[in-house]
Amino acid sequence: MKHWKIFAAISAGLLAALVVGGIPDVSAAFVPLPDVDGIGVPNPEGDTAIQRAESLLGPIGRTLRIVIGAIAVLLIVISGFTMVIGGENEETVKTQKTSITMAIIGLAMISIAGPMAEIFDFRQGNFLEDPDALVERAKLFDDTTKIIVTFFKYVLGSLAALMFIRAGATMISGSHNEEAVTQSKKSLMVGAAGLFLVLISDLVVRNILYDAEYNDTASKTIVEIDQNAFIAQVVAFTNILVTFVGPIMMLGIVIGGVVYVTSAGNEERTNLAKKILLNSVIGIIIIYSAFALVSTVITGSF
């Protein structure tokens, strides 16, 4: 038995040597690659192995990105629908939140895979040694960052809208449950705050906090806070408040007056009407005082 084991080991070694030694001769028959135009097989284009691999694998990678992206979007839709209809079950909500988070992360990775590959592409050499190539990659990175930020803005906006829908449905279906209504109100406030931050984040960072300008004298890029842009945004925000909140306060005065007139001596309704009128008047004074302050003191136009 021992001799048979030695013979088998020697035979296996000789066979392996024969196979390994014959690989170059066998492989040489396939270089250059034969023409496959007539047999329905993709024919890689390019002069080098890298170019041929990119020509062959590029369409496959793009197809996979599209398919996986569609699956991720479908999972997000299903998870969101499940979260809305199962809002009272905290375990269901927690599970669907995890599913949505994973799907969003997957979508983000798929979206930035191509641009990140272009940024860290070393096929043309080390771009860190070439100033022009480094600037080009930096601009590409900035564009990619904008894409990512825009993607997350849409995602956060969608999640905030989903929170609005879920909170509204909970308030309607569980109006008898004071705790559920209170939690839904908090969700509405958090969603509104999130939407507000999403709307102003890019504006504040790019136009106010990160005002980059190349200085020819100093031969460098100077980053500083743009005070003029800050003032302009404060004025715009105040105008929005005056445009929307002002008429609401006026409507409050009208409603308070109607409640006061129709109170018919009811002390509780009379006090409610007085409170509505007082709060509306105070709100109007504060809003228009802020508008006047911004228009005169801050802007320097006295």
The ranges assigned to domains in the chain are 52-225, 226-302
Most confident of 125-139, 185-199, 204-218: 185-199
- Looking at the predicted structure, is the pLDDT value of residue 36 above 60? no
Separation of alpha carbons 200 and 140, rounded Å? 24
User: Confidence band (pLDDT; 50, 70, 90) for 124?
Assistant: low
More confident residue, 193 or 217: 193
Q: Give mean pLDDT, residues 79-107.
A: 76
Please give the pLDDT value at position 216: 62
User: Confidence band (pLDDT; 50, 70, 90) for 208?
Assistant: low
Q: What percent of the chain has pLDDT over 70?
A: 52
> Tokens 């005169």 identify what position?
296
More confident residue, 255 or 203: 255
Please give the pLDDT value at position 119: 65
User: Confidence band (pLDDT; 50, 70, 90) for 28?
Assistant: very low
Please give the pLDDT value at position 268: 82
Residue 40: CB atoms within 10 A of its CB come to 6
- Looking at the predicted structure, is the pLDDT value of residue 78 above 80? yes
User: Confidence band (pLDDT; 50, 70, 90) for 101?
Assistant: confident
**248 phi, psi to nearest 5 deg:** -65, -40
More confident residue, 46 or 24: 46
